[in-house]
Amino acid sequence: MQRVFVMASVLVFPLSAAAFTGNDLNMLCTKTDTASRSACAAYIEGAADGIYNTIEAIGGTSGPQVGQYFCLPVDVKPQELTDAVRKFIADNPARSNFNATTMVSLGLGKAFPCKADK
């Protein structure tokens, strides 16, 4: 009986797990308490760092590369990243159910596009 319960739990768990969407991220970022604001900024910075490192691993980030979504200025502030992502989510409500990390990529790509090497 215990084996049946474990198997049923394993099968049901993926159905109950929901992805963290752009809308969820935006709701977190609109809260005014310090913990929520910190969590919002940390998520965006962490996602940006993860995307950057992934691109670095597949071919570098010294300029526009295939698949490179954004090129951050050296002196960019965390609030600028948050503002860019929130603006993208607000301007693209049809995409708000995309994965939150995807929305970070798209938002930063819109605000900080890579310039083509000449």
Domain at 33, CATH number: 1.10.890
**Can you give the residue range of the structural domain that contains 71?**
21-111
**Tally of domains in the chain:** 1
| Closest C-alpha among 20, 112, 25 to residue 68 | 112
Max Cα distance, the chain (Å): 68
Tell me whether residue 109 is exposed, middle or buried, using C-beta atoms within 10 angstroms of its C-beta: 0 to 12, 13 to 18, 19 or more.
middle
For 5-61, write each residue's pLDDT tens digit. 334 444 444 444 568 999 999 999 999 999 999 999 999 999 999 887 777 677 655
Asked if residue 3 belongs to a domain, the reply is no
Residue 19 DSSP label? -
| Token pair belonging to 41 | 């900024």
The rounded percent of the chain whose pLDDT value lies above 70 is 71
Asked if residue 1 belongs to a domain, the reply is no
Asked if residue 74 belongs to a domain, the reply is yes
Asked if residue 104 belongs to a domain, the reply is yes
Quote the pLDDT of residue 116. 65
Asked if residue 80 belongs to a domain, the reply is yes
Asked if residue 16 belongs to a domain, the reply is no
